Amino acid sequence: MGIQVVRGTALIMLPLNVSFGIYAFLPMGWLFMAGIILGEAFLMSRCLVRKKFDKKIYLSATVSNIVSGALGIITTMALNGGWWLVVWFPWVSSHEVDIHSRQEALALVIYYIVALILSVLIELFVNWLMLRKQYPPQRILRATLIANAFSYILGAVIIILLCI
């Protein structure tokens, strides 16, 4: 199969046909993740202090995402001997998983549900550690859940739009 060019999308699609584990370490991957983290920080700030920017909340959101990502890499390396990056949205290449196979698709869905839950729990714990003196646990929980729901949905929509 060759690359099919539809209105100039070949340059966008080519780097997307790799796993997120590889894409994450490319400049576009860093920009994508930075955008998602900024979106989460913005939403958490709006939820907790009703402002667009709060330095402590932005720092907490950034640190919690870095910790979650690092633990995801370490965990998957330990579990499968490789490094299939645990991320909060289902992005893999056609070289890793054949989504047309019912068994592989089901395994992928289960894997990412577990990864999402663990990622949110890690971020919640880090956010609680960093923000517990300023905000009650219920508000930190709510803000973290809203921010992660937003980032998961937005990330999935962007990927679907770029990959269709």
- Tens of pLDDT along the chain (164 residues)? 444 444 444 444 444 455 666 667 778 778 888 998 999 999 999 999 999 999 999 999 999 999 998 887 777 777 665 545 444 334 455 555 666 778 877 776 777 678 788 889 999 999 999 999 999 999 999 999 999 998 888 866 776 666 55
Residues 107 and 105: their CA atoms lie apart, in Å, by: 5
Prediction pTM value:
0.75
DSSP E strands in the chain: the ranges are none
- How many CB atoms within 10 Å of residue 103? 8
Amino acid occupying residue 28: M
Residue 19: per-residue pLDDT: 60
